[in-house]
């Protein structure tokens, strides 16, 4: 997730672009840049880190001109360096881009073969070169961009300038957001409404497959160049509402962003035809996969719960002995680890100190380290032998939600990849899993819409509960832990996540009529036993909430309330069962009036002992 902005008008464009980028910084903040038409040339300024660094560079060396594009980056391809920062230039062309170009490896090869010098690790620079080649072949900018789009697979919102056509910006969109603004003698584009609100309330939303040329007016066309008439809409949001896209908290926004975050994470990685995972970027070879004797997952907090799904999945799909270790307990204890071990370090931030140190210790003893991280170029990916990034975009709420589900997606993809290479997962079964995974974003969207109100009602009913129990078996156990962690983090209610089979070994003593017990009982291989747990809890007069498969009358009978999720393969249930747990926790905290996005005593990234 990155932010793009563009301006054509009489003001100094660098000021408008900087101001717009400030309002888009929530979409990415590892580097930023602008390109402005100055005289007959395009000039750029780029800077690593927060926007204030770009601001400083523009103060020291201003750009004066009325047409420009800007970008704030959340790295997906290549580390957050100045060379990887947007805009990217090729000949007379400058491009900013939000999204992921899936076929970037093939395009890079092709462009290198044609003699292009590619200076960054980004997919975006390839777009700039493609447009440049078309311009060199005699096309005007609009036609050159149109021809380039034919070559792109993946998601993009792009804004393009050319020195040969100084008064205009050409934009295009597919799967990434882009809104156009129509002001008094000025036109704008941006990834999101807040960037434009101080300048205009008249906005046009570009649809997938559409392009537009911005000069004194806005002209929208389809891919064939046919003009599309669309009236501007008046948007009367306050800037704060706009930043959270109308949601009350970032956490709620991020919960609802999960289908999009998953789509971005899965994009280009599922090989549906062969039942496999495209793994070029992981950097582990087939030989590496075969040589692994043991997999050890290391993580903290929510990432540890995602890693726990890996313990089940790697064992069942790839038949490799698998351990799960809290990084804080692994480090410093001189664990037995070494050659033949693959350590999978899971961390949203990629900076968690315990995970970093634990992974370094394992590497020093001869283990290979695979990092699953969300922040490109962070410390753990940098020290790891191989990296498999999630593409959730920046997560602002301290309580992790969309990063958890994307971590689970990467872990499942890694397990399929490993199983295929080790011959433990046959093609048909892998195809089923890959197909099922491809449908998850859509199903998750359905669960979000379908369970939101019930979760809010239940949260209202139990807002004053002193204790809450979450129970689950197998792949629902990590989700029970995650549900309990979410609730305690943001509502400060004591919550326990337990392996349901352990209930009778102790926690059952906690149960009375004041305790809500949330039992995860989807149709899976533990279903019958989960049903018994529901019955046991109800018999002890607990307030029983089942999260179960739609139409499950047995579960409904033995619970007070049932939250329904669609039937999916067992390996995919975590993506759906986690949603009601997140929503329930969110609404309890909201009704209690706690600081949902910045709960007390917690930090987003824990880089201290």
**Residues designated as active site:** 2, 604
Q: CA gyration radius for the chain?
A: 25
Cα 134 from Cα 136, distance rounded (Å): 5
- Determine if 355 is a binding residue for ligand AGP (CB under 6 A): yes
Q: Are 57 and 21 in contact (CB under 8 A)?
A: no
Mind giving me the DSSP string for 276-339?
A: EE--TTT---HHHHHH--EEEEEE-HHHHHHHHHHHHHIIIII---EEEEEHHHHTTTT-S--T
Residue with the CB atom nearest ligand AGP in the bound state? 301
Exactly one of 31, 57, 76, 347 binds ligand AGP (CB under 6 A); which one?
347
- Determine if 302 is a binding residue for ligand AGP (CB under 6 A): yes
- Determine if 491 is a binding residue for ligand AGP (CB under 6 A): no
CB atoms within 10 A of CB 433: 24
Nearest to 299 by CA among 322, 337, 326: 326
Nearest to 127 by CA among 91, 99, 152: 152
- Determine if 458 is a binding residue for ligand AGP (CB under 6 A): no
Binding residues among 235-254 for ligand AGP as defined by CB under 6 A? none
Cα 325 from Cα 308, distance rounded (Å): 9
Q: Are 596 and 590 in contact (CB under 8 A)?
A: yes
Q: Are 493 and 465 in contact (CB under 8 A)?
A: yes
Number of chain positions touching ligand AGP (CB under 6 A)? 16
Rounded to the nearest angstrom, the gap between the alpha carbon of residue 376 and the centroid of all alpha carbons in its chain is 12
Residue closer to ligand AGP (CB basis): 72 or 355: 355
Return the H-helix or E-strand segment holding 402: helix 402-421
- Determine if 303 is a binding residue for ligand AGP (CB under 6 A): yes
Residue 80 CB, nearest approach to ligand AGP (Å) = 16
Residue 604 CB, nearest approach to ligand AGP (Å) = 7
Residue 487 CB, nearest approach to ligand AGP (Å) = 11
Cα 388 from Cα 385, distance rounded (Å): 11
Cα 194 from Cα 241, distance rounded (Å): 9
- Determine if 301 is a binding residue for ligand AGP (CB under 6 A): yes
Residue closer to ligand AGP (CB basis): 148 or 349: 349
Stretch of 49-57, 187-195, 397-405, 553-561 contacting ligand AGP, by CB under 6 A: 397-405
Exactly one of 162, 349, 405, 533 binds ligand AGP (CB under 6 A); which one?
349
Residue 301 CB, nearest approach to ligand AGP (Å) = 2
Exactly one of 16, 107, 204, 398 binds ligand AGP (CB under 6 A); which one?
398
Tokens 């926004």 appear where? 253
- Determine if 383 is a binding residue for ligand AGP (CB under 6 A): no
Exactly one of 130, 133, 300, 359 binds ligand AGP (CB under 6 A); which one?
300
- Determine if 594 is a binding residue for ligand AGP (CB under 6 A): no
Residue closer to ligand AGP (CB basis): 378 or 530: 378
Tokens of 294: 């043991």
Residue closer to ligand AGP (CB basis): 347 or 451: 347
Q: How many CA atoms lie within 13 A of 94 on its CB side?
A: 29
Residue 492 CB, nearest approach to ligand AGP (Å) = 14
Interface with ligand AGP by CB under 6 A: which residues?
Answer: 300-303, 347-349, 352, 355, 398-400, 489, 602, 605-606
């Amino acid at each position: 997730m990155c932010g793009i902005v563009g301006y054509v008008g009489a003001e100094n464009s660098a000021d408008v672009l900087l101001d717009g980028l400030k309002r888009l910084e929530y979409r990415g903040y590892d580097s930023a840049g602008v390109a402005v038409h100055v005289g007959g040339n395009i000039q750029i300024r780029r800077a690593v880190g927060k926007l204030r660094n770009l601001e400083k560079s523009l103060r020291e060396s201003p750009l004066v001109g009325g047409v420009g594009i800007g970008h704030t980056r959340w790295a997906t391809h290549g580390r957050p360096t100045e060379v990887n920062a947007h805009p990217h230039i090729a000949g007379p062309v400058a491009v900013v881009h939000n999204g992921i170009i899936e076929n970037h490896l093939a395009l890079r090869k092709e462009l290198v073969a044609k003699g292009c010098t590619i200076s960054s690790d980004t997919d975006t620079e390839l777009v700039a070169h493609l447009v440049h080649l078309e311009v060199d072949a005699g096309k005007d900018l609009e036609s050159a961009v149109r021809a380039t789009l034919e070559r792109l697979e993946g998601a993009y919102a792009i804004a393009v300038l050319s020195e040969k056509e100084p008064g205009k910006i050409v934009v295009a969109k597919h799967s990434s957001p882009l809104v156009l603004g129509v002001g008094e003698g000025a036109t704008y584009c941006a990834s999101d409404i807040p960037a434009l609100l101080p300048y205009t309330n008249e906005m046009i939303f570009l649809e997938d497959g559409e392009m537009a040329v911005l000069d004194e007016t806005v002209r929208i066309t389809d891919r064939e160049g046919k003009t599309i008439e669309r009236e501007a809409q008046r948007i009367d949001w306050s800037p704060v509402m706009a930043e959270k896209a109308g949601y009350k908290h970032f956490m709620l926004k991020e919960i609802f962003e999960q289908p999009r975050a998953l789509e971005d994470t899965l994009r280009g990685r599922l090989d549906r035809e062969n039942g496999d995972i495209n793994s070029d970027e992981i950097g582990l070879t087939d030989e590496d996969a075969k040589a692994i004797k043991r997999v050890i997952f290391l993580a903290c907090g929510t990432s540890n719960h995602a890693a726990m799904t890996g313990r089940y999945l790697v064992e069942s799909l790839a038949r490799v002995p698998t351990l799960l270790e809290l990084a804080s307990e692994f480090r410093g204890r001189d664990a037995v680890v070494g050659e033949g071990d693959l350590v999978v370090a899971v961390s949203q931030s990629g900076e968690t100190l315990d995970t970093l140190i634990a992974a370094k210790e394992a590497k020093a003893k001869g283990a290979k380290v695979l990092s699953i991280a969300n922040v490109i170029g962070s410390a753990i990916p940098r020290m790891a032998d191989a990296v498999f990034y999630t593409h959730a975009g920046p997560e602002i709420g301290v309580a992790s939600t969309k990063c958890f589900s994307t971590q689970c997606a990467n872990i499942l993809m890694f397990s399929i990849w490993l199983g295929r290479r080790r011959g433990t997962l046959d093609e048909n079964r892998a195809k089923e899993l890959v197909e099922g995974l491809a449908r998850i974003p859509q199903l998750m969207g359905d669960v979000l819409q379908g369970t939101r109100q019930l979760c809010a009602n239940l949260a209202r009913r139990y807002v004053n509960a002193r204790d809450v129990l979450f129970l689950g078996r197998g792949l629902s156990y990590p989700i029970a832990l995650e549900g309990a962690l979410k609730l305690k983090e943001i509502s400060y209610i004591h919550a326990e996540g337990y392996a349901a089979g352990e209930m009778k070994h102790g926690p059952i003593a906690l149960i009375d009529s004041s305790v809500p017990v949330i039992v995860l009982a989807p149709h899976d291989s533990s279903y019958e036993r989960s049903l018994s747990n529901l019955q046991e809890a109800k018999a002890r007069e607990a307030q029983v909430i089942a999260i179960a498969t739609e139409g499950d009358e047995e579960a409904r009978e033995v619970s007070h309330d049932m939250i329904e999720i669609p039937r999916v393969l067992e390996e995919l249930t975590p993506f759906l069962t986690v949603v009601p747990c997140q929503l329930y926790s969110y609404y309890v905290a909201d009704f209690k009036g706690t600081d949902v996005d910045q709960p007390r005593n917690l930090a987003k990234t824990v880089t201290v002992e």
